[in-house]
Copies of this chain bind each other. A is one copy, B any other.
Amino acid sequence: MSQLDERIGYLVKQVQQAFRRACEEQLRSVGLSMSQYAVLRALADAPGAPAAELARRTFVTRQSLRDVLTGLKEAGLASVAAQPSAGRALPVTLTDSGRLMLDQAERIVMEVESRMLITLPPGDVRQLATLLTTCAENLA
């Protein structure tokens, strides 16, 4: 039996939870959740993408994304077109308000990420990125 300290699945969960926790703590000052941040971020990377595409980019289901999108619409941070652009796809866009919020949130999240990596030399960070990418590919 492997030691718990070496179980990658366990460690990944631990880091993900700690990172999420730390981010939520800081994001609370601007009234944003980590889930909402993730959607805003995806929205900035893919303006006008349908909700289903945003769901894929944030690793959740369409149904889950709807829950978060509801909150973002109510907060005036995102906007869903009334008419489909192609097929049934309704383009989602960032509002001006959403863009400003994302800028603030981005700074906060980057700070937490920096803190998480503060003791690691750049080479180690690149290596970590490579290893994690490999893990993701192996599970795909």
- The smallest beta-carbon distance between A49 and chain B, in angstroms, is 14
A20 partner residues in chain B, CB cutoff 8 A: 13
A138 to B112, CA, bound (A): 10
B133 near A11: Cβ-Cβ < 8 Å: yes
Chain copies in the assembled complex:
2
Interface segment, one of A66-74, A79-87, A118-126? A118-126
A100, chain B: closest CB distance, angstroms: 17
Give the residues in chain B near A140, CB-CB below 8 Å.
18
Q: Is the CB of A136 within 8 A of B18?
A: yes
Shortest A109–chain B CB gap in Å is 7
Chain A residues with CB under 8 Å of chain B are: 4-9, 11-23, 38, 45, 59-60, 109, 112-113, 115-120, 124-129, 131-136, 138-140
